[in-house]
Structure 1
Amino acid sequence: MTRPDVDPACAVAHGSAEPPTRDRTLVAVFASPVADHLLHFGRDLGFRPLLVEPDPERAGAAREAGATLVDVAELDATADVVVTDHHRVELGPVLRDVLARPVRWIGVMGNPRHPAPHVAALTELGVAEADIARVHRPIGLNIGSRTPPEIAVATLAGLLADRNNRPGGFEF
């Protein structure tokens, strides 16, 4: 049996040591119920949780609810970006701007059985195919999630697997 005082991972799991500092940022794009859960759970998982919301009214409501809002121009190489609503009219311009940043990972939520609206939106804006290919869809682990908290958990599980170089991954 591994003793918590010998194995660092075990010590963290038993609460006798602090988890290692993470330098990863979780960016939810568009205020939504899924974004709320992503940012809440993401904080608990060691991500710095941020929200990008271009609509001033929605941004104000999210800020009042405690979200930390940022502009796309502030995103850096620590950012894992999750677009939580693929129906928003701002989808193309926001994703184009995210793709111009040195972010680590970009994903768009959506049912893999339906066409990916971000592809058409980005193509219409003249974004190169190679850049469009950087956008993951579907995202998260295929666990049959349906509700906002389940979708957030599946998405974060995939990001954790990726962060920890594990095969949980994003493949369906």
Structure 2
Amino acid sequence: MSDDGSSPRRLVVVFESAVAEAMLRLAVEVGFQSVLVEPDETRLRGTPRPHGDLFVHDLTAAHLDGHTDVVLSDHHRPEIGVVLKEALAAETRWIGILGKPSIEGPHVKMLRDLSVPEDQIARVHRPIGLDIGSKTPAEIAIATLAGLIADRNNRPGGFF
């Protein structure tokens, strides 16, 4: 879906982490409303600091729509399949999950086990972001946001 400008762009980052914190902090600077979703309160690393507009415990409260980009900041959580199925059902603009490009993400099997159709599974981007050799949480956040901005602006990203 393309962003026609009639609604604010929203970045929903699922799973509290160092990458999520950096992404949410920077997202505000590049024009996103930012939402942190952490479904498991026991996993919070202290007081959540989303640096944005909202902190919630489920995707429903994040108000997903066609102007929303969803990024899962952890590829090892057991709730990935359920979270992605809900994000796909909401017809979000863009969905991605962090992970190593050299292996198939565990989200694929999780979604298949939940009977999600292959065309919907294919909507989940992985790897995400621009390939800039990111290693630190802040670098991963920058690469991810740059990729989202390129996608939002119908650009391939990378160098000119």
Aligned residues of 1:22 and 1:46 also touching (Cα < 8 A): no
Structure 2 gaps of 5+ residues are none
Of 26, 44, 49, the match for 2:11? 26
SS at match of 1:28: strand
> How big is the shift at 1:97?
0.9
Of 15, 21, 25, the match for 1:36? 21
> Counterpart in 1 of 2:74?
85
Percentage of matched positions with identical amino acids: 54
Aligned residues of 2:21 and 2:49 also touching (Cα < 8 A): no
Which structure is higher in RCO with an 8 Å CA cutoff and minimum separation 6? 2
RMSD of Structure 2 on Structure 1 (CA): 1.9
Instruction: Provide runs of 4+ in structure 1 moved above 3 Å.
Output: 58-61
> Counterpart in 2 of 1:162?
151
* CA distance in structure 2 between the aligned counterparts of 1:130 and 1:55, rounded to whole angstroms: 29
> Counterpart in 2 of 1:52?
37
SS at match of 1:69: strand
* CA distance in structure 2 between the aligned counterparts of 1:66 and 1:27, rounded to whole angstroms: 14
Of 88, 94, 97, the match for 1:105? 94
> Counterpart in 2 of 1:10?
none
> How big is the shift at 1:65?
3.1
- Structure number with bigger Rg: 1
Cα offsets for 1:89-108 (capped at 9, x unmatched) = 11111111111102100001
With normalisation by structure 1, the TM-score equals: 0.80
With normalisation by structure 2, the TM-score equals: 0.85
* CA distance in structure 2 between the aligned counterparts of 1:80 and 1:95, rounded to whole angstroms: 12
